[in-house]
A and B are shown apart, each in its own frame.
Chain A
Amino acid sequence: MSYQWDFSAVFKYGDMLLLGLAGTVKIALISIVLGVIVGFAVALMRMASNPWLRKPATAFVEFYRNTPPIVHFFWFFYALPIVIGVSLDPFVAAVLALSTQSGAFYAEVFRGGITSIERGQWEGAKALGMSYRMAMQRVIVPQALRRMVPPFVDRSFELTKTTALASTLAYAELLYQAMQVNSITFRPMEVYTAVALLYFIVLFTASSLMRVVEYRLARLG
């Protein structure tokens, strides 16, 4: 192996990569927030007794769980504009794809947390004269929330990794910026290695922090 490593190209265009990193963080945070809202609505629908609410929600979840994310990205960018008659910019299409897809997964996290609470808790709340809503607010959700934290964190990391697909729609996140730097410098080895390292540092630091949080929560419970 006689390859001469030269990371100066990466440092020279470091600000482009940092701009990309900011784009990745931005799209991840917005999609997590929107995904939680979608997921909460879908989870409520899935737990409803009315089949008109339950069945579409189940279909939504199953569709997103059984199709690849890249298909959603391309569908929202190239196909949806034909249906709605308005063209979408890459950022909007990517956010739509990410937040609906993660919404389907978050819905399962919420539903799993709520259904994991034993029946006795519901019965106890009812015996105390609480309505469905009150029991949910005061008894079920506070207990379920703690159980939802680990799968919720897992899903959010998956979502953050999936943001790399927005590069295929030419949204300027980290991977797309790396492709641009690579086409200027012709240094794929250094550029892609540096970008992989950047992702690793961000995700590994975040997941180590979350492990501490989860440990604390587990001790509280």
Chain B
Amino acid sequence: MDYTWDFEVVVRNFPVLLRGVVVTLELWAIAFPLGMVLGFVISLGRVSGKPWLNTPAIAYVEVFRNTPVLVQLIWFYYAFPIILGHQLGPFAAAILGLTLNTSAYCAEIFRGGIQSIATSQWEGARALGMTYSMAMRRVVLPQVGKRMLPAFTNRAIELAKVTSLASILTVHELMYQGRLLSSTYYRPLEILTVVALIYFILIYPGSYLSARLERKLALRD
């Protein structure tokens, strides 16, 4: 291998990559909380006994979990505006796709948590005169919050990786900036390697903490 590495081009263009990091973080910081909130609402439909709430919630979750994320993003960018009758910008389409995708997975986490609580707890809350929403807030969620935490941190890590697909919709996040630089300077080896390292530095602390947290919670049980 007689290739001479040249990281000078990466150093010189580092601000371009950093601008990409900011957009990556924006995508993540917007889509994750929105996905969680929407996921909670869908999980309520999912655990409901009423079929007109239950069936659409199941269909929603299954559609998002059984199709590739990239297809979803492309659909929201190129197809959805046709029904909507209004063009979506790449960033808005990416946020929409990422949020809905995350919400389907979060709905399953909430459902698992809610269903792990014994029915006697619901009955007890009922007997004390609590309404459904009171029982949910005061009895069920406080108990399952901790149990769901590892699953949510895993989702957050998955989403951080999936934001890179927004580059296909020309959102100027880290991967897009990396591809732009590598085709401008013909230095894909150095630039793509550095992009991979930046992602690793962004994501590894999260997965390290989540693994520690999981071990700690497992010990306590």
Contacts and interface: CB of A to CB of B under 8 A. Distances in A.
Interface of A: 1, 3, 62-63, 65-72, 74-75, 78-79, 82-85, 161-165, 167-168, 175, 182, 188-189, 191-193, 195-196, 199-200, 203-204, 207
B188 A188 contact: no
Contacts of A182: 78
A71 B157 CA distance: 16
User: What is the interface of chain B mostly: helix, strand, loop, or mixed?
Assistant: helix
B68 A164 contact: yes
Interface in B179-208: 179, 182, 188-189, 192-193, 195-196, 199-200, 203-204, 207
B161 A68 contact: yes
B196 A67 contact: yes
The 5 closest A-B pairs by CB, nearest first: A164-B68, A78-B188, A68-B164, A68-B161, A188-B78
B34 to A, nearest CB: 20
Interface of B: 1, 3, 62-63, 66-72, 74-75, 78-79, 82-83, 85, 157, 161-165, 167-168, 175, 178-179, 182, 188-189, 192-193, 195-196, 199-200, 203-204, 207
A62 B204 CA distance: 8
8 contacts: A3-B82, A67-B200, A71-B178, A72-B196, A79-B192, A161-B68, A165-B165, A175-B74
Contacts of B164: 68, 70-71
A203 B67 contact: yes
